[in-house]
Chains A and B, each alone.
Chain A
């Protein structure tokens, strides 16, 4: 009767492997967290916050694109909706504390996401991309025409205010740790969603929607929830961005922003957790570095080139390629 022994041994080996993997991941996450905690003493906090806001935006987008397989070309609408709502409330109602403004901005983006989802979720693939693009353009024109957004000039001088009425966010360091905390919370949330049974269904929809349907899942409802969560997190990113920069502008609503978040996700590695974060860091840095140097007029050209290169050659992105390399060479 060797078999039972063998099986327990195999199980134990698998378990050990899993704990080893988990330990490695924990060490990696710990190191990243330590870096993020020390970073504002080494680098300019506002620049770091910019990266964090875009990273959150890309993480939100990736939940939909990378894990569910839905390419939305309209995510700029949620970023802008969050930003404008928070900016408007904080500018006009001094009684509100900062987090109330941010929550309100996120809520508006969530509702907008629900509206988008209702109209677009039955469409597939590129149809879905075109419909979301056109819907976001509708939102863009709404923001252009509305008086409260300041039109082409944008919304300036949004007060950062007091967090919970206690913590002064005018200090860049306080602001940074607040943004970092929100970012980490959202990152963990997305991690939990992706590894939950619900996340498994999302993945199965991405891999083979027809099979998911035949297994009895109401695919559209799963997709819709993913869309709404993604919109909410994108809105949260926009809300925080408007508080950090004390500015909300039409740039955030323009369809180029929707393209940029696709680029971030794709370059970093879609369908991986860390990918969008790496991608956002990469793109924000490249844009910043280029704008400082002699190539400042060529930013769009270079971004376009990166787009093409990624699609043709590195489709799994930076993180995806590293994972592949590790798997191949390190067992």
Chain B
């Protein structure tokens, strides 16, 4: 069998694939964070909880209502998105215009509450979610085996990421959004309903997290604490990419997944810390992140 740096190619490409999958999740999650931060200047500490809610909703809807994966893929993000908009309307709106730190503290409290409720109902051990039939099996690429579901996750994550980037940077709606954050009063004067726009943006960012949650349900263990583990990593990804940079979040997310996968192959003990190490190095040389503008 062929080797690269003393590691069999099959092992290396397997880890690389896992890295890209994780990277797809990082990209989706950090994209949502970047949208919410970049446009609303809210640090959404509840993002991990929303991701978890997406996954939990998928499992619960299947167990109680028999709704399948495809339905969940649309319904769960919408439900969570509406929930997020309620949080925005009843809580975050009250502190808009104040120091951004309060949004961080508020969403942190909200995350604790959401996680607390679900932990009480479902415990911290994982729920099981069966792989949808359409994705059973995989294909042999010659040098490695690619399960269909993993290929699907990568593909759909890329599509959603690109779509979001396109919408915000290239369409009229995106232009309204960016203008609304630049000068809310002026936009209001032009007859644009800025508070609604803010609610929708928060809801959309949260939907992205829930969407990632649905994608995660068949392959990761679904628990009420799954979000708090990944949240900090995603924060680091956003810092590396440059806070508020949409494209930066996507590219950095996938890149960090790959780096993590490679580290797992060559030096496993460092794999959970490597992203934070990268962050330290990036901050030393580029304090605004790889794609960030001067803040």
Contacts and interface: CB of A to CB of B under 8 A. Distances in A.
A323 interface: no
Given A134-B232, A298-B116, A311-B106, A71 B101 contact: yes
Given A138-B273, A138-B276, A308-B109, A129 B43 contact: yes
B104 A134 contact: no
Interface in B263-292: 269-270, 272-273, 276-277, 279-280, 283-284, 287
A301 B113 contact: yes
Nearest to A141: B273
Given A126-B104, A130-B243, A312-B91, 17 more contacts: A119-B280, A119-B284, A122-B287, A124-B295, A126-B37, A130-B43, A133-B232, A134-B232, A137-B232, A137-B236, A138-B273, A145-B273, A259-B108, A300-B113, A305-B109, A306-B109, A307-B105
Interface of A: 71, 73, 119-120, 122-127, 129-131, 133-135, 137-138, 141-142, 144-145, 255, 259, 262, 266, 297-308, 311-312, 315
A172 to B, nearest CB: 33
19 contacts: A119-B280, A119-B284, A122-B287, A125-B99, A125-B101, A129-B101, A129-B104, A130-B43, A130-B243, A134-B235, A138-B273, A145-B269, A145-B273, A297-B119, A302-B116, A304-B108, A304-B114, A307-B105, A311-B102
Interface residues of B, number: 42
B113 A304 contact: yes
B120 interface: yes
B128 interface: no
B236 A127 contact: no
A259 B120 CA distance: 21
A258 to B, nearest CB: 10
Given A124-B295, A126-B100, A307-B112, A138 B280 contact: yes
B94 interface: yes
A75 B236 CA distance: 17
Interface in B44-91: 91
Interface string B95-126: 10001111011101111111111011000000
B238 interface: yes
Interface of B: 37, 43, 91, 94-95, 99-102, 104-106, 108-117, 119-120, 232, 235-236, 238-239, 243, 269-270, 272-273, 276-277, 279-280, 283-284, 287, 295
For the residues of B in contact with A, the DSSP-based class is helix
Contacts of B295: 124, 127
A200 B104 CA distance: 27
A311 B109 contact: yes
Contact of A126 (B101, B111, B112, B280): B101
A255 B91 CA distance: 24
Nearest to B233: A137
Contacts of A122: 287
Contacts of A131: 239, 279, 283
Nearest to B277: A138
Query: Which 3 interchain pairs have the tightest Cβ spacing?
Result: A307-B109, A304-B112, A301-B116
Nearest to B111: A304
Contacts of B117: 301
A302 B115 CA distance: 11
B276 A134 contact: yes
B95 A134 contact: no
A123 B282 CA distance: 13
A308 B102 CA distance: 9
Contacts of A73: 104
A131 B282 CA distance: 11
Nearest to B109: A307
Nearest to A306: B109
B100 A125 contact: yes
A308 B91 contact: yes
B276 A312 contact: no
A130 B280 contact: no
Contacts of B236: 134, 137
Contacts of A299: 116
Nearest to A262: B105
Given A138-B280, A311-B95, A300 B119 contact: yes
A121 B277 CA distance: 18
Nearest to B113: A304
A125 B295 CA distance: 11
Contacts of A138: 273, 276-277, 279-280
A259 B109 CA distance: 9
B40 to A, nearest CB: 12
Nearest to A256: B228
A308 B113 contact: yes
B109 A141 contact: no
Nearest to A305: B113
Which residue, A120, A131, A308, has most C-beta atoms of chain B within 10 A? A308
A301 B239 contact: no
B116 A130 contact: no
A141 B101 contact: no
Contacts of B100: 125-126
A126 B106 contact: no
Contacts of B239: 127, 130-131, 134
